[in-house]
Amino acid sequence: MIGREALAYHGTAGTGIATLLIAGVRDVNWTIECSAIESVDRDSIWKTKKAGFLSGSGSLEVTYDPTDASHQALDSATEAGTKIALKFLDSAAGAGMIADVVFSSGEQSDPLEEAVTRTYNFEFDGTITAVA
Amino acid sequence: MIIGRATVVSHGAAGGAPATALTGVRESSYSYNADVAESMDRDSAFTSKDVALLEGSASITLTWTNHASQVAVLTAMLARTLLAFKFVDEAGYGIYVDCVITSFGRAEPVGDHLTIPIELAWAGAPTGVAPI
């Protein structure tokens, strides 16, 4: 599966729904992490571990269009410090994940002879749900 | 010489030997680490050392195809469920071990395949696999 066929959507935080397509998406990266709770006692040789808290973060790069509604939605959430739902699928009917996010940082690149891009860095807030 | 592309990575329910081959694997590796307790005192000329505790980890990078064997890893992680992973090389040697899935990411570059980096922490002692 090629990244250019993947899709990113946004929606209202707290609804578990994100159906509004984000335009101009270039590269996306997301990672879910789980802490490993370690247990060691005097009976141990190998450290034993159990799953702890889940969390995650990611980044979304777009060819920036300030007149596009989806970019405006991302900008609004960034500037207001509010949450938004993001969903990433590998294809239109494919698999991925959905979660609420907070935007932790962002950057705009204005190169001399290339398109202006904006990158939104986010952290997942609360439950992360797989989409099959 | 044995080559990496012939190594088979499998997963299955924790507590047993995995039997489901993970598809799309590009890179895999595993390692173990010993906490080495060092001792020296006024009677010493040389330091003496003992292995105190052992722990292990593994990492896998795969090309995402939305195959059930791949989705199962994400599903297990989000459920904070341990999965057993098995790594068997071309010669038939390897290990299997229960693991905490500590990281599952997806890179969606616009001009390349979707790739999934996975990080695992061994939940306990591994079991050796040898050719029958």
Q: Which two tokens stand for residue A127?
A: 């439950």
Amino acid at residue number B32: Y
- Please give the Cα distance from B35 to A99 (Å, whole number): 38
The pLDDT tens digits for A55-76 are 999 999 999 999 999 999 999 9
Boundaries of domain holding B115: 4-129
Q: Cβ–Cβ of B125/A46 closer than 8 Å?
A: yes
- The C-alpha angle with vertex A100 and arms to A98 and A104, in degrees rounded to 5, equals 120
| Per-residue confidence band for A132, with pLDDT thresholds at 50, 70 and 90 | confident
Please answer yes or no on whether B122 and A46 come within 8 Å at the CB atom.
yes
* Cβ contact, residue pair B124, A46, below 8 Å: yes
**Min CA distance, B120 vs chain A (Å)?**
9
pLDDT digits (tens, 9 = 90+) for A86-112: 999 999 989 999 999 999 999 999 999
**What parts of chain B have a pLDDT lower than 70?**
none
If phi over 0 gives left and psi between -120 and 50 gives alpha, with beta otherwise, what is residue B58?
beta
Interface with A, mutate which of B106, B113, B122 (most A CBs under 10 A)? B106
CA distance B76 to B72: 6
Nearest CB partner across the interface for B102, out of A1, A33, A130 = A33
Are residues A33 and B103, on separate chains, in Cβ contact within 8 Å?
yes
Q: Give chain B's domain count.
A: 1
Specify the fold of A3-131. Pnp Oxidase; Chain A (2.30.110)
- pTM confidence score: 0.89
CATH number of the domain at B98, please. Answer: 4.10.410.40
Chain A residue numbers touching B113 (CB-CB < 8 A): 1-3
A46 in contact with B, Cβ within 8 Å: yes
